[in-house]
Amino acid sequence: MSQHNFFELTAHWAMSAVESVGLVPTGEYFKLNSYENRVYDIFLEKEESPKELQQHIIIKIYRPQRWSVDALKEEQIFLNDLATNGVPVIQPYLWQGNTLHQYKGLYFALFKKGIGRLPQELSLQNLQSLGRILAHTHNIGETRCSDFRPTLCAEDYGWKHLERMEEWVAPEVSRRYFSSAETILNFLDDHLEPSDFLRIHGDCHRGNIIMNDIVDQKQHYPPFLLVDFDDFCNGPAVQDFWMLLSGPLSESKPELEHLIKGYEEFRTFPNYQVEWIEALRGLRIIHYASWIAKRWNDPIFPKYFPQFQDYIYWAEETEVLENIAWKLTQQN
């Protein structure tokens, strides 16, 4: 299937892919939010589906040419490692002896449906519980190396992307934007230590957490689920912390303290990495803008990011990067 056809992929295609592995859709479905891939909740015929699926299967159809097959398999290995060791994730569903399938040129994976809701707010107690989960995640993350996933560093996530941004950044703020970006990336070049990196979630924000309200006393945390490991990579532990904060570090220190408190029940937190948080936030801003630019030919991106070509968007991005760059110069 061509990239163009991936853009036009429909629920009918997803149901046909599910049928191709022997499951029987009812024809009902929900399309789930995903910019990078295409994800559907497919309803299954009751009498024709395994009981543990509860008449639902989630199909995740991978964007072509983004990850190699080896990289996709590494995501699944990581999820299986985590699930096998009690970390609350949804591992790929093993069906017909496989967890990675192919239909008409596209790869896809199947998952059981996770039950819960996206948390509107996270209390300090919730954050402490999530700290415990992150500790378990990182304990497992360091048990293997990832050979086919990127490394969260200035080179892979920053410098390679700035050249693409030259045709997008509004000319009125271009000099300021790139000057600030270079300050941030130089800081990361000077401070990140790849020898400390391990397999991490990589995109651990509140939208990638599912929560229900039944407290599991044995596990000492409400049953959170970490979902969407599509951006899992090799990186510093602190990357999985800062996106859970409700604002800049200066305004969110109690939240970070509770994350670390839970984490240190099972694993020592590398406190020296706290000074990297602002720079990592800047790196994400740069990488995120580059990602939108790279995907602009996908029809959903102009639809969901209409402001991307406006001056005001780049003026605001520049102001944020300048503020981060200034803070980093004060740290030095």
What's the confidence (pLDDT) of residue 332?
Answer: 63
pLDDT for the residue numbered 194: 87
pLDDT at 4: 62
From 228, 230, 240, 298, the catalytic residue: 228
Question: Are 146 and 102 members of one domain?
Answer: no
Tens of pLDDT, residues 250-293: 889 999 999 999 999 999 999 999 999 999 999 999 999 999 99
Q: Into how many domains does the chain fold?
A: 2
73 and 185 co-located in one domain: no
Domain boundary among 53, 84, 111: 111
Q: Looking at the structure, do residues 202 and 308 belong to the same domain, yes or no?
A: yes
Chain position carrying tokens 């200066």: 250
155 with 295, same domain: the answer is yes
Q: Are residues 95 and 129 in the same domain?
A: no
pLDDT (0 to 100) of residue 105:
92
Q: Is 228 a catalytic residue?
A: yes
**pLDDT for residue 38:** 96
Question: Which of 119, 152, 134, 87 lies closest to 246, judged by CA?
Answer: 119
Q: Is residue 30 part of a domain?
A: yes
- The DSSP code for 144 is S
- Phi then psi for 188, rounded to 5 degrees? -65, -40
Distance of alpha carbon 321 from alpha carbon 104, whole angstroms = 43
| CA quadruple 160, 304, 247, 329: dihedral sign | positive
Q: Single out the catalytic residue among 41, 156, 196, 203.
A: 203
15 and 134 part of one domain: no
Query: What are the residue ranges in the chain where pLDDT is below 50?
Result: 217
Residues 263, 135: contact at Cβ < 8 Å? yes
CATH number of the domain that residue 47 is part of: 3.30.200.70
Helix (H, G, I), strand (E, B) or coil at 284: helix
- pLDDT score of 49: 87
Q: What is the pLDDT of residue 193?
A: 86
Alpha-carbon gap, residue 123 to 126, rounded angstroms: 5
pTM for the predicted model, two decimal places: 0.92
Whether 117 maps to a domain, the answer reads: no
Same domain, 203 and 93: no
What is the model's pLDDT at position 96?
86
Q: Are residues 96 and 137 in the same domain?
A: no
Strands annotated E in the chain: 25-32, 38-44, 56-61, 101-103, 106-111, 198-200, 209-210, 225-226, 233-235
Print the domain residue range for 35: 3-111
Helix (H) or strand (E) holding 184: helix 174-191
Q: Are 134 and 276 in contact (CB under 8 A)?
A: no
- In this predicted structure, what is the pLDDT of residue 317? 98
Q: Under a CB-based contact definition with an 8 Å cutoff, are residues 301 and 292 in contact?
A: yes
Looking at the domain assignment, is residue 10 inside a domain? yes
The burial class, CB within 10 Å (0-12 / 13-18 / 19+), for 328 is buried
